[in-house]
Homo-oligomer: A and B are copies of this chain.
């Protein structure tokens, strides 16, 4: 079989598989073809791919010759149509929230897997791109905040007096939030974190941060570790607490997202106006509406001296290590669907089934079939 890697769109610097991952595929007796310059924005040239045994081809050749294509950003319908009818397509398609693409894949009787569908189980952890990219995003969000802040993060005791550490408030202690906490602590900031899930409290404390408690949150174990929607009363209490902490904070990093819905509003306009000039808000939920009322997606705005950074595809800004982690996730998943150098789909496996968008046009998992009937 032949596995193809495409050059991602211009705004994406990562590549699905770096040469080290390609090497693993080759050791499974697969062929690997790489679109010219696919790795360049991740600082990997064609020769480095050739050196491990991959072939460099044009985009048209990769689309036409591959039995399997691994991408990060979803392909266009036009390009999907150029693939072999039986070829397997893998990417991060946002399949549950992209009905147009999902319906197209079904109509065209395609076989496709979407990596954000990987179940959030222990066995699937090594394939979880959302989790590995959240690590990248949490780390980068702190670098962005520290670079934008007109103050130090760490404390200093110098001959000329002392500098107090920056106060950093992290909203949401999922993987991105926890990584942001860890990175801000590393840099010497005083860190406060808030999450509606009590389970997060212990993790926050173990990283040396303080946990901001707001009582009365609803929890849902079935939400796969995600936060769920809350009562109006709780939401107001939450906003008030955040308002109170924000006025004392130099940095707020917001990470609260609910899959497929608008991000919850946590930082109101009055809260931004109560912050000190020079403060920075990094909104990691900017692309799904933002956790801050004044966030503009993919833009940095300044209101009363407070900088609000509406973060876009920030994982793409650490392209080498982000691609490396993405590739590891891919390899771990591909192990389940490649046997003896050939595609071998076992839908008895909950990970294979759960990650599948459709197999020859048929939805094989309930999340997708429910979504298609809506």
A residues at B contact (CB < 8 Å) = 13, 42-45, 125-128, 131-132, 135-136, 139, 143-144, 146-147, 149-152, 154, 156, 158-161, 163, 183, 186-188, 276-278, 305, 318-321, 324-325, 328-329, 332
A160-B318 CB under 8 A given contacts A277-B45, A278-B43: no
Question: Is B278 a contact partner of A125 (Cβ separation < 8 A)?
Answer: no
Centre residue among A125, A143, A146, A150 by max chain B CB count within 10 A? A150
Chain B residue contacts of A332, Cβ below 8 A? 160
A159-B321 CB under 8 A given contacts A43-B150, A277-B43: no
Chain B residue contacts of A144, Cβ below 8 A? 147
Question: Is A318 a contact partner of B151 (Cβ separation < 8 A)?
Answer: yes
Question: Is A139 a contact partner of B152 (Cβ separation < 8 A)?
Answer: yes
Chain B residue contacts of A186, Cβ below 8 A? 154, 186-188
Chain B residue contacts of A276, Cβ below 8 A? 43
Known: A127-B160, A139-B152, A163-B325. 4 other contacts (CB 8 A): A43-B276, A144-B147, A160-B328, A183-B187
Chain B residue contacts of A146, Cβ below 8 A? 143
A277 to B127, CA, bound (A): 27
Chain B residue contacts of A324, Cβ below 8 A? 161, 163
A130 to B42, CA, bound (A): 38
Chain B's closest residue to A41 (CB) is: B150
A106 to B152, CA, bound (A): 39
Question: Is B147 a contact partner of A143 (Cβ separation < 8 A)?
Answer: yes
Question: Is A305 a contact partner of B43 (Cβ separation < 8 A)?
Answer: yes
A154 to B140, CA, bound (A): 12
A284 to B252, CA, bound (A): 30
A325-B187 CB under 8 A given contacts A147-B144, A278-B43: no
Chain B residue contacts of A159, Cβ below 8 A? 125-126, 128, 131
Chain B residue contacts of A163, Cβ below 8 A? 321, 324-325
